[in-house]
Structure formats: C-alpha cells, structure tokens
Structure 1
C-alpha cells in the first residue's frame, strides 16, 4: 500500500468516526527539518560546542590543513 492510499484510507476512517483527518503526506516536511536543525543546535550548546557554522569551519579546516593548493591551469 502506498503512502497516498494509506492517507486516503485514514481520511475515510476519520470521516466515518467524526474525527479530524490526518495531515496530508509531505505537508509538514519543512517543520521536521527545522526541528532537527534546532535539536542539533541545542545539543551543540549542551555539549559546549559552537551552535552554528560548524560545516563552514570543518571545510575551512580541510582546506587549510591540506597544505598544498592545486595550481591554476592556464590556457
């Protein structure tokens, strides 16, 4: 059974029992992403790490730590 079929079945059952219909699939995806981001920031603060910018810092460490830069190609 696909997610759409399950949603339709749950909606039908909710209407039959005079209950609220469930939210449509995918309607709360961005909210979930924001909550995961906020939880990561919370964990960073609890663990006394920087709460934001960790990806940029990691990339800059990789670039600085490599030592040698790749030469530019000239045509």
Structure 2
C-alpha cells in the first residue's frame, strides 16, 4: 500500500467516525528534519564532539577525497 492510499484510507475512516482528518503526507517533513538535527546536535554536545557542520564535513570528505600516501 502506498503512502497516498494509506492517507486516503485514514481520511475515509476519520470521516466515517466523525473525527478530524489526518494531515496530508509530507506536510511535516521540514519540522521533522529540524527536530532530528537538534537531536543529533544534543547528543554530539553530550558526547563532547563538535555540534555543528558534521554532515557538511562528512559530505565534503565523500565528494573531495584526499589522495592517500603510500607507506612504501
């Protein structure tokens, strides 16, 4: 069952029961992303690691890898 089909089914059930319909899929995506970022930052601070720019540094390492030096 797709997310759209599930939403339509939930809306139908809510209408039959006289309840408020659920929000459409995707309306709270940005809010969830911000909450996750805050969660990660909090745990980084508790673990005494830098709390910001961790994702940017990791993506930078993936996109621009440094050449490895040989041990010979």
TM-score, normalised via structure 1 length: 0.68
TM-score, normalised via structure 2 length: 0.71
2 CA distance for matches of 1:39 and 1:30? 14
1 CA distance for matches of 2:20 and 2:44? 37
- Does the residue aligned with 2:44 lie in a helix, a strand or coil? helix
Segments of 4+ moved more than 2 angstroms? 53-60, 65-68
Name the residue aligned to 1:25: 25
Q: Which of structures 1 and 2 has the bigger CA Rg?
A: 1
Name the residue aligned to 1:9: 9
Pairs aligned (count): 65
RMSD, matched Cα: 2.4
